[in-house]
Structure 1
Amino acid sequence: MGILPKGVKDYKLNPKTGEFSAYLNSTCSFKLENSYQLNYKPVIKGVISKGRLRKLCGVSVKVVLLWLNIVEVNRKGKNLEFSVGLASANFPVENFEECPQCGRGLNCVDEDDNVVSSF
């Protein structure tokens, strides 16, 4: 659930091929606490199947000074493996139980400055 940010306004899914498109109102960017900066284009495309997203387009991560496209996400037991091609990183599935918010990430604060969720 928490791989895409809140604010997806529409999506298309071909149930036979698994090809999908998700549409945001605009580009979305946020930094995960003490971790990576993520950027989502207004249109995110890929192919979904059980435990796997492949041929992913529209999601990038900043690693040191470089922006790299996340091209695949695989479920490996209790972890999600995010691949940028030659390299990958694993994160616990429980980190993705809630959707991040553009500009806020996973440290979401409501209008009264109360922490709503934090990973």
Structure 2
Amino acid sequence: MNRLAIVILFIISSFLTLSAAEHGDGAGAYEILKSYNFPVGLLPKGAREYDLDEKTGKFNAYFNDSCSFSLEGSYQLKYKSKISGYIAKGKLSQLSGISVKVLFLWLNIVEVVRNGDDLEFSVGIASADFAVDNFDIIPQCGCGLNCNNGGLRRTDDKKILGRASLVSSI
């Protein structure tokens, strides 16, 4: 292959990659989280696309289907096929599409705020703090962080989400 063909192939490849990123490549949803100072593990594996209005912070993330899993047996989470809200540096607000099971009730997670090395999750009437590094790994639908085929197992001895429980914010 001559040099000109290689250069043309490189330019076309670069253009297609840039075009996919501009039009909602799902892998970009995880990069967006990082650019706003959030860990990638806030979204489960499988975001197929996203859209973001950078002026207002309004975002939507899309999955092929709804998703649920447990984290180390302590919390059950559900994600709808569309998650939406507003994102700003260190703050996710007006969230819809994510819920957590507390005792026998499913409560919507409405806000996530980063405070240094902690994330505060709010369900409106209650909130809980967790270490940011608990969310360094992207969970997988069905099995969370304990998947045998997804390579998502924790390699350290930390108990995921073991530091907090939901407490009243009143």
Query: TM-score surpassing 0.5?
Result: yes
Q: 1:23 aligned to 2:59?
A: no
Q: 1:62 aligned to 2:98?
A: no
What pairs with 1:31-50 in structure 2 (closer than 5 Å)? 31-50=70-89
Please, which of 147, 153, 164 is the counterpart of residue 117 of structure 1?
A: 153
Higher relative contact order (CA 8 A, sep 6+): 1
Please, which of 92, 95, 105 is the counterpart of residue 53 of structure 1?
A: 92
Judging by fraction of residues, say which structure has more helix.
2
Q: What does residue 48 of structure 2 align with?
A: 9
SS of 1:47 mapped into structure 2: strand
What pairs with 1:85-100 in structure 2 (closer than 5 Å)? 85-100=124-139
Which blocks of at least 5 consecutive residues in structure 1 are unaligned?
none
The CA distance in 2 between the partners of 1:81 and 1:4, in whole Å, is 16
- In terms of Rg, which structure is larger? 2
Which blocks of at least 5 consecutive residues in structure 2 are unaligned?
1-39, 155-159, 161-170
TM superposition score normalised by structure 2: 0.66
Displacement of 1:98 in angstroms is 1.3
Q: State how many pairs are aligned.
A: 116
Judging by fraction of residues, say which structure has more strand.
1
Change (3 A) 1:62 1:14: same
- Give aligned-pair identity as a percent: 59
TM superposition score normalised by structure 1: 0.93
The CA distance in 2 between the partners of 1:65 and 1:37, in whole Å, is 11
The CA distance in 2 between the partners of 1:69 and 1:21, in whole Å, is 16
Structure 1: 4+ residue segments shifted above 4 A: none
CA contact (8 A) 2:138 2:152 kept: no
Please, which of 111, 114, 119 is the counterpart of residue 72 of structure 1?
A: 111
SS of 1:95 mapped into structure 2: helix
Give the residue type in structure 1 aligned to 2:137: E
Give the residue type in structure 1 aligned to 2:54: P
SS of 1:106 mapped into structure 2: coil
The CA distance in 1 between the partners of 2:122 and 2:143, in whole Å, is 23
